[in-house]
Amino acid sequence: MKSQIKLSFLLLTGILACFSIKVNAQSDRNISVLSNYDARIDTILAQMTLEEKVNMFFGIRMFSSAGVPRLGIADVEYADGPFGIREELMPNSWMPAGLGNDLATFFPTGSALAATWCPESAYDYGVAIGTEGRTRGKDMLLGPAINIQRIPTGGRTYEYLSEDPFLSARLSVGYTKGVQDQGIAACIKHYALNNQENNRGKVDVIVSPRTMREIYLPPFEAAVKEADAWGVMAAYNKVNGYWCSENDLLQNQILRNEWGFAGFIVSDWGGTHSTVAAITNGLNVEMPTGQYLGDKLLDSVRAGVVSEEIINQRACEILRVRLHVKPVPPHEANRIMTSQPRQQQIAYEVASKAIVLLKNEKTQLPLDTAKYKKIAVIGANAMQKNATGGLGAGVKALFEITPLQGLRDRLGNQVTIVYAPGYKPYRRYQEGTRTRQPECTSADPDLLKEAVNVAKDADIVLFFGGTNRDLETEGTDRESICLPSGQDELIKALAEVNPNIVSIIVSGAPVDLRAVNQYSPAILMSWFNGSAAGHALADVLLGTISPSGKLPFTLPVKLEDSPAYFLRNYPQTGEANSDIFADLVNENRSELKSTDNKDLAYYSEESLVGYRWFDTKNIKPMFPFGHGLSYTTFQYASIKTDKAKYKSDETIKVSVDLTNSGKADADEVVQIYVHRLKSKVFWPYKELKAFDRVNLKAGETKKLTLEIPVKNLRYWDEAKYDWILENGAIEILVGTSSGDIRLKTQVDI
C-alpha cells in the first residue's frame, strides 16, 4: 500500500509520469524499447500545458493526430491498411488528394499471407509495406489486421490471417517486426474480438474468459510480447459489456499490465464512446475527431473528474512512440513513387507461396503447353482486379497483374488463349444504388452461352470463379458462401461440353465448392493475391514453381456445418436457441445461451473455432485447415521426441525425417498438432502447436526438429485467473494438414 501512495505522489507531482510496472525476472512480459524515453518524457511533460497534452489525444486531420508544435514535436501521421499503403487523402476528408506518386504495391491480403505459413515471408512483407509507409512520410501503419476468422462469411475474413491463433500469432510477429524495423510503428488491430462486420459498431461479444485468452487474444499477445508492437487499435465492438475503446480489462489490465505494451492505443475511426471512461481505461487517441477527448476532456480535468496523472500517463504513452518513430520531414515524403521494384518482388514471392493446390486428379497440373494448344479462360475473375472494392483498406496500386494478363505474359504466342467472362461480377452499386447481395443461382444466359461456345473446342478450360472485394468487404458480412452470379450453373454447362477443367478460385474467404469440386479434376485457391497475382498464378499453373500454400482456414462443405451457423449464434437474428452440445461444451453456462437481443453475439462454440469444431464434432470439411497439395509428394518417417516426460519449463523437441519423394523441387509445411489424452479439462480434439515450412529438392531427405514449449500447452483457468498446466499424457500428431496426419507419438507432461 505504502509503495502505491509513494507512486501516486510521484505521479501527481509529474516527477514520474511514465509509469511502467517493474518486470520480475521470470515473467515473459514485454520490455519495450519505448520505455527508454521515459526520463526524457518526464522533462517534456513538465514543460507542457494541460491543453497541449490533451491536444495530442484526438485527430486533427482524417489520418493525423497532433504533436506539440511549440516544443518541435511533430504530428503523428497514420496510414491504412494492412495490405497496401492507402493513397493520400485530402486533409479532412476521405477524398483522394490526387497525387501522382502515391501509387503503392498491392500486397496479398491477410488470408493469402497466412496461406504461406511462412513467418519469414510475413517479416519480408512487413519490411516491404513498412518501407512504403515511410516513403509516404507515415509514422504509424494501421496494420496488421489480426482478428481470428470466426465465421466464413466475415466481411474481413480476407483481410485477417487465420482461424487458428497459433498460425495467426506467428505471422503477426513477423509482420510487426518487419514493419517496425523500417522505423514506422505497426498498429495491431482490431483489439479485440472484431470477428464480424454486421452490426460491428454495436455488437457486444459475450465470450468466456478462457476462450478469449486461448483463441482471440494470442495474436495480439504475441505481437506485443515478441515484436514489441508500438500501436494498438481498439475495436468498434463491445466485449462482455464494455466498449473495447474503454475496456479496462483489455486495455489496462491485460494489454499494458500483463503483456507490457508500452505504446499507445488509437480508437477505430468513430469508435470512441466516452470521455472519462475512455481516457481512464486506456485509450490514448480518439480518431478522427475530438468529440470526446477534446474540450470535454479538458473540462473533465478542470472539474477534477480526470486526474493530471492519467493525462500524463496517456501523454507519456504517445510521446514514447513519437520520440522513437522519427518524423519524415515533409519535403522528404512522397519524393519517389511509393511502389518500387524491391517491394513488388516481395509481393510476388508472397503471392507465389500463397497459392493452394486443393485438388489435382489425373495430374491435370502443371499445364502441358505441348499438349494444350488452345486454352479457354472462362470467368470474369480472370480479369478482376482486387486492390480496391467495397469499403475501406483500398490500395491505389501502381499495377495489378490479373490472371489473364499473367497467362498472356508468360505464354506469349506459344498457345492460343480465348477468353469469355461467363458471368457478370457482383458490383456493390448499380447505377449509384446499393445492390443486394448476389443471387447464387441464376447465370446470365447469354454470357453462359458465349462461354460454352468458347470452351467446347478448347484443349483445356481454366475456370475462374470466386468472389471479389465488392462482396468481401469491411462493414458487411456475406449472407452465404455460395459462388455468386450463377457460377455453379456455368461450370456445369462448361463440363457438359469440355470435362477438362481446372478451376481457379479467386476469393479471400471460404466459398461453397460443391459444384466446382464435382466438375473440376483440379482446383487452386488463388486469393486476392496482390499486384503480382497473375504472374504468380501463371508460374504455378505452368509448373515454373510448385504450389506450396496451405489453407489458413477450414473450407466447409456447406456454411451450416461451421460452428457459429450450426449453433445459430450468428447471425444474431433474435431467435433464442442453443444446441445440446453447446450446453455440454459450455458446462451449462446459461449466460452463453443465445437470446433475443440482436446486439449480443454469444460465442457459445467457445474454443471450437474452425478445425477445432470440425474435428471435435466429426464433421468432414470440403478441404481441411492446413490442406495444400504440391507437384511432388512428401514422405514422413521416424518421429522422435528428445524425452518421454517434460517439466513445465521445458521444451518438447519433435524430430521427423521428411523426404521429397517426387520429381519436383518444392516446399512443404510440416504441421504438429497436440491431442490431449484422458484430460479432466475440456479441449478441442487437437490444436496446432508448431509448424515449419521447408524446401526440399526432388529426392532429398531432411531431418527436421520442431519445438513445442510446454508452457504453450497450458489452459486459462478462470477461477485461478492464471495459465495452468494440466499434467498427463498428450499425443503429438505430425501431418501435412489437419486432415492428413502422417505420424504420431505420445509424451507425458
Q: Pick the closest to residue 286 from 272, 307, 304 (CA basis).
A: 272
Closer of 86 and 385 to ligand GLC (Cβ): 86
Task: Give the integer Cα–Cα distance in Å for 682 and 404.
Answer: 49
Phi, psi of 564 (to 5 degrees): -65, -30
Q: Within 252-281, which residues bind ligand GLC (CB under 6 A)?
A: 268-269
Closer of 29 and 86 to ligand GLC (Cβ): 86
- Residue among 268, 470, 488, 561 flagged as catalytic: 268
Number of C-beta neighbours around residue 661 at 10 A:
14
- C-alpha grid cell for residue 730? 498428450
Q: Within 422-441, which residues bind ligand GLC (CB under 6 A)?
A: none
Q: How far is the CB of 189 from ligand GLC (least distance, A)?
A: 6
Closer of 81 and 260 to ligand GLC (Cβ): 81
Closer of 394 and 735 to ligand GLC (Cβ): 394
Q: Pick the closest to residue 628 from 346, 353, 362, 351 (CA basis).
A: 353
Contacts of 295 (CB under 8 A, 6+ apart): none
Residue found under cell 466481411: 155
Contacts of 138 (CB under 8 A, 6+ apart): 77, 78, 79, 85, 184, 328
Burial class (CB in 10 A: 0-12, 13-18, 19+), 658: buried
Q: Is 396 in the site for ligand GLC (CB under 6 A)?
A: no
Please check whether residue 267 is in contact with residue 233, taking contact to mean a CB–CB distance below 8 angstroms.
yes
Size of the site for ligand GLC (CB under 6 A): 7
For residue 174, the one-letter residue type is G
Closer of 213 and 238 to ligand GLC (Cβ): 238
Radius of gyration of the chain from its Cα atoms, rounded to whole angstroms? 26
Contacts of 696 (CB under 8 A, 6+ apart): 634, 658, 659, 660, 665, 666, 667, 668, 702
Task: Give the integer Cα–Cα distance in Å for 149 and 560.
Answer: 16
Q: Pick the closest to residue 731 from 692, 671, 678 (CA basis).
A: 678
Residue found under cell 497534452: 53
Task: Give the integer Cα–Cα distance in Å for 421 and 367.
Answer: 21
Closer of 146 and 376 to ligand GLC (Cβ): 146
Closer of 270 and 330 to ligand GLC (Cβ): 270
Q: How far is the CB of 200 from ligand GLC (least distance, A)?
A: 8
> What is the 3-state secondary structure of 696-727?
ECCCCEEEEEEEEEHHHHCEEECCCCEEECCC
Q: Pick the closest to residue 222 from 174, 190, 150, 282 (CA basis).
A: 174
Q: How far is the CB of 131 from ligand GLC (least distance, A)?
A: 19
Number of C-beta neighbours around residue 316 at 10 A:
26
Answer for which of 18, 89, 142, 351 binds ligand GLC (CB under 6 A) is 142
Closer of 126 and 739 to ligand GLC (Cβ): 126
Give the CA distances from residue 603 to residues 289, 595, 614, in Å, rounded to whole numbers and listed in that order: 32, 12, 16
Q: How far is the CB of 266 from ligand GLC (least distance, A)?
A: 9
Closer of 83 and 715 to ligand GLC (Cβ): 83
Answer for which of 38, 80, 221, 470 binds ligand GLC (CB under 6 A) is 80
Closer of 142 and 325 to ligand GLC (Cβ): 142
For residue 625, the one-letter residue type is F
- C-alpha grid cell for residue 566? 450450426
Q: Is 144 in the site for ligand GLC (CB under 6 A)?
A: no
Site string for ligand GLC, 183-202 (x = CB under 6 A): ------x-------------
3-state helix, strand, coil in the chain (%, to 5): 30, 20, 50
Burial class (CB in 10 A: 0-12, 13-18, 19+), 363: exposed
Contacts of 738 (CB under 8 A, 6+ apart): 611, 615, 624, 625, 626, 627, 671, 673, 686, 688
Task: Give the integer Cα–Cα distance in Å for 621 and 280.
Answer: 46
Closer of 237 and 500 to ligand GLC (Cβ): 237
Please check whether residue 465 is in contact with residue 516, taking contact to mean a CB–CB distance below 8 angstroms.
yes
459 included as an active-site residue: no
Burial class (CB in 10 A: 0-12, 13-18, 19+), 35: middle
Q: How far is the CB of 137 from ligand GLC (least distance, A)?
A: 17
Q: How far is the CB of 391 from ligand GLC (least distance, A)?
A: 8
Number of C-beta neighbours around residue 430 at 10 A:
9
Closer of 139 and 561 to ligand GLC (Cβ): 139
For residue 268, the one-letter residue type is D
Task: Give the integer Cα–Cα distance in Å for 127 and 468.
Answer: 27
Closer of 231 and 484 to ligand GLC (Cβ): 231
Q: Is 477 in the site for ligand GLC (CB under 6 A)?
A: no
Q: How far is the CB of 392 from ligand GLC (least distance, A)?
A: 5
- C-alpha grid cell for residue 656? 521427423
Q: Is 392 in the site for ligand GLC (CB under 6 A)?
A: yes
Q: How far is the CB of 236 from ligand GLC (least distance, A)?
A: 7
Please check whether residue 742 is in contact with residue 654, taking contact to mean a CB–CB distance below 8 angstroms.
no
Q: How far is the CB of 475 from ligand GLC (least distance, A)?
A: 8
For residue 502, the one-letter residue type is V
Binding residues vs ligand GLC (CB under 6 A):
80, 142, 189, 268-269, 392, 474
Active site residues: 268
